[in-house]
Amino acid sequence: MGQNNSGMLQRLYQKAVGRYWARAARSASKTNLSTLRRQRTQASKLRQHLDTVLSVAENRLALPLIGSSTFPKPHGTDWSWRPDLWRMPLAKIGIASAQNKQKLGPEVTLFHDCHVSELTLRQIRNTREADLAPFGLRMDVFRFDGSYLSLVIDFPFEAVDGLKRNHLIRLTTIVELEKPLEIFARLNIKHGPNTEQIVRELPLNAEEIMVEFDLAYSKLNEKRVEKMWVDLIFEGPELNQVILRDVTLSRRPRAEF
């Protein structure tokens, strides 16, 4: 009840302030100069606060909404997902000299075999009009003395619940590169003692960076599926900056003919 009364009093106060300045504006041409001078000082101070509120509000409201899972999905999609790294703020947004098996939130892990790590990772806030993901991941690679570098994204249980060989798995991403390199996506599905693997190269020169994994060509044992993950493998990453503005995944059954 106290909160309701406080809210009501606040609204009444704001209306009264609004009416006061509306009257002041209407009568400004006839107000005596001493009163007008005082009102000008008050209005100037008030305008500074209003301009700050408007500026911050316009900036924040223009950004992708934190927690958003919104992205285009193919017709018939029965599961879709944007990993938390691209949805929610991490507790630790930056990592210098990132080590092998470095975790970035609950689902993403960095793997490499560098003797001396000159890799930095940072979660960044997406601000472009075209961005649907609230956050992106920036990876800076300086000297690289290893033979492999990859980001592993572990899928939630929902991704394998009811998974069949007639499913297509789609991966879509937005990538910015300081200089050209190759990125491969390797889908891994553990079923019993075996792990099925399908590799696709990301078409970085295409308008939409998307690959699909057709499970019809796999030897998947549908009754023994346990988990699924994807490796993003970076070839020749030395002296480069890679920004993954978004990573999304979806699943749909193939159309029957």
Give the pLDDT band of residue 129 (cuts 50, 70, 90): confident
pLDDT digits (tens, 9 = 90+) for 180-201: 999 999 999 999 999 999 999 9
Find the mean pLDDT for residues 136-144. Answer: 95
Give the Cα separation of 256 and 168 in Å (integer).
Answer: 12
Residues sharing a CB contact under 8 Å with residue 154, sequence separation 6 or more, in sequence order: 107, 108, 109, 227, 229
Q: Is 97 helix (H, G, I), strand (E, B) or coil?
A: coil
Give the Cα separation of 209 and 214 in Å (integer).
Answer: 17
Residue 124 has pLDDT above 90, yes or no: yes
For the chain, domains (ranges, CATH) are: 2-62 (no CATH), 79-253 (2.60.120.260)
The pTM of this model reads 0.78
Share of the chain above pLDDT 70, in %: 95
Q: Output the pLDDT for position 96.
A: 92
Q: Output the pLDDT for position 138.
A: 97
Find the mean pLDDT for residues 41-60. Answer: 78
Max Cα separation, the chain?
89
Partners of 119 in beta bridges:
141
pLDDT digits (tens, 9 = 90+) for 101-116: 999 989 999 999 999 9
Residues sharing a CB contact under 8 Å with residue 150, sequence separation 6 or more, in sequence order: 110, 111, 112, 231, 232, 233, 234
Pick the range with the lowest mean pLDDT from 161-165, 176-180, 205-209: 205-209
Give the Cα separation of 213 and 172 in Å (integer).
Answer: 12
